[in-house]
Amino acid sequence: MTNLRNIPAIDELLTLPHIQELLQQYNREFIVETLRRAVEESRQDLRKNGGETSKQGLAAKILKRLDILIANATRGSLQKVINGTGVVLHTNLGRAPLGQRALAYLNEMGKNYNNLEFNLENGERGSRYQHVEDLLITLTGAEAGLVVNNNAAAVLLGLTTLARDKEVIVSRGQLIEIGGAFRIPDVMKQSGAHLVEVGTTNKTYISDYAQAINDNTALLFSAHTSNYKIVGFSEEVRLSELVTLGRQRNIPVMHDLGSGILTDLGEWGLKDEPTVRACVDSGADIISFSGDKLLGGPQAGIIVGKQKYITAMKKNQLTRALRVDKLNIAALEGTLLEYLSGNPLQAIPVLEMLTAAREELGERAEKLCVALKGTLEPTETIQSINVVAIDDMVGGGAYPTYKIPGYGVQIAFKEKQLETVARQLREMNPALLTRKQEDKMLISVRTLLDGDAAVVLDILRNVLVAEIESEIDPGEKL
Ligand SMILES: *Cc1c(COP(=O)(O)O)cnc(C)c1O
């Protein structure tokens, strides 16, 4: 049996100078609690693995473990991730990284008071919804606009305001689910509107909608099937056709556009996604889309359309619960201003990544490859490091079938399991997320932001080179 007698008592440990110092810096309960954990873990370790049993040696081990536990607990849960996947709008990675103007605005409005709900002209109460409305009108050509928490909220608000206890006609081909459990039928239920499905999964005609209209019909609803595409034998009703029918029968049309794109990216091969303006021009009464997808801003649900419907939504009590906060308004305004007076294709990271020139990506991959070879090639684990042509993706449920030709660096390992390295890279801070392709590791350069390449180098060195050194001294891993 292992001798556990020499494990120091908590009270004893608390008198040590190092812990006294920690108590000056951190919350006392936190230190005491974490110390208890460190002692307990050391006890288990000793029981299981044996080793050092002198009182002093045990105390040193406990202190070391304590420092690691404190470092882990105080670095925050939300942490920076370097996106080497080549998926530009990665929903699990926070979607759109913000541009400089959005960040500057966010900082300014976050640390100061501001006119969020104050009319500076007449000194009276104002509305938080006024702030980006004019910008949205200018940029989309709509009559009015409103911003809520996210697009799911926008759809919910539209449905409940216009069609509560009434019928809403939707094509069976558009009963979509978007990542994170946004399902059109469920949102419909939540809104109190009655879903009337028409057509089939692959084919819906305008006559299907027309036949389903009755006195109880309040809305014709269409959703952009953003994260999948029905190819082959299929038929979808165009938004403009739906609008014509709506006009004839005096029923408004709402379109859930999903990813609201403000600039035409056809030149870069991104042709399938209609711009918000094109939807407005087609006559849809209400259009909703996300702020953090192709628009490249913060999380937000943006609604544009006819004045009377937007006004009705603003008056809906639910809007209060779905409201957007000042930081989001600031970041959204900073992003939208870039479309008005800046250079969105360069200043909005999402657009910059999507429109990056292929040759430039090739050069960046070449540079990263050379640097990686210099740092990593002496390691035993690596078979080869190469530049490869790859397909990147838009992500975020836009252009589901479109692959953007790009470049990346491919690392092939000799023996070491790819999964093991990938996991170690994810556990670094910042974390590095890579792609796996044919048993090799791939790092796309398209989704590396300014300064990321140098950090990628550091992270890989730490995981692959430093690991070999640490294997010499397993005692390190307390
Ligand atoms: C992404 C998406 C949503 C959900 O938007 P959030 O901003 O994530 O709430 C809804 N509908 C469509 C068509 C989408 O693409």
Asked if residue 179 and residue 146 are part of one domain, the reply reads yes
pTM exceeds 0.85, yes or no: yes
| Mean pLDDT of all residues in 211-218 | 98
> 389 in helix, strand or coil?
strand
100: left (phi over 0), alpha (psi -120 to 50) or beta: alpha
Question: Ligand 1 mean position to 255 CA, how many Å?
Answer: 12
Per-residue model confidence as pLDDT tens digits over 244-292: 999 999 999 999 999 889 999 888 888 778 899 999 999 999 999 999 9
Listed residues 312, 327, 347: the one ending a domain: 347
Report the pLDDT averaged over residues 10-35. Answer: 95
Distance, in Å, from the CA atom of 32 to the CA atom of 11, rounded to the nearest integer, reads 9
> Is the same domain home to 432 and 315?
no
The residues lining ligand 1, judged by C-beta closer than 6 Å to any ligand atom, are 150-152, 178, 182, 223-224, 226, 256, 258-259, 290, 301, 397
Report CA(243)–ligand 1 centroid distance (Å). Answer: 22
Read off the tokens for 321.
């619960």
Rounded Cα distance between 457 and 455, Å, is 5
Same domain, 336 and 404: no
Given 347, 382, 409, the domain boundary residue is: 347
Q: How confident is the model at residue 328 (pLDDT cuts 50, 70, 90)?
A: very high
Same domain for 53 and 110, yes or no, is no
The predicted-structure confidence for 86-117, as pLDDT tens digits, reads as follows 999 998 999 999 999 999 999 999 999 999 99
CATH of the domain at 85: 3.90.1150.180
Q: Among 148, 226, 228, 239, say which to mutate for ligand 1: greatest number of ligand atoms within 8 Å of CB.
A: 226
More confident residue, 110 or 179: 110
CATH of the domain at 218: 3.40.640.10
Question: Could you tell me if 221 and 334 lie in one domain?
Answer: yes
Same domain, 438 and 298: no
Residues 271 and 127 in one domain: yes
**Domain shared by 395 and 261, yes or no:** no
Ligand 1 atom, smallest distance to 180 CA: 8
State whether 267 and 404 are in the same domain. no
Residue 60's domain comprises 2-74
Q: Measured in Å, how far apart are the chain's first and last C-alpha atoms?
A: 21
Q: Is 195 helix (H, G, I), strand (E, B) or coil?
A: strand
Confidence (pLDDT) at 399 = 63
| Same domain assignment for residues 419 and 338 | no
Residue having the nearest C-alpha atom to atom 14 of ligand 1: 258
Of 303, 320, 347, the one marking the end of a domain is: 347
Number of domains in the chain: 3
* 372 and 340 part of one domain: no
Task: Name the percent of the chain lying above pLDDT 70.
Answer: 93
Q: Please check whether residues 260 and 320 belong to one and the same domain.
A: yes
68-83: pLDDT as tens digits: 999 989 888 899 999 9
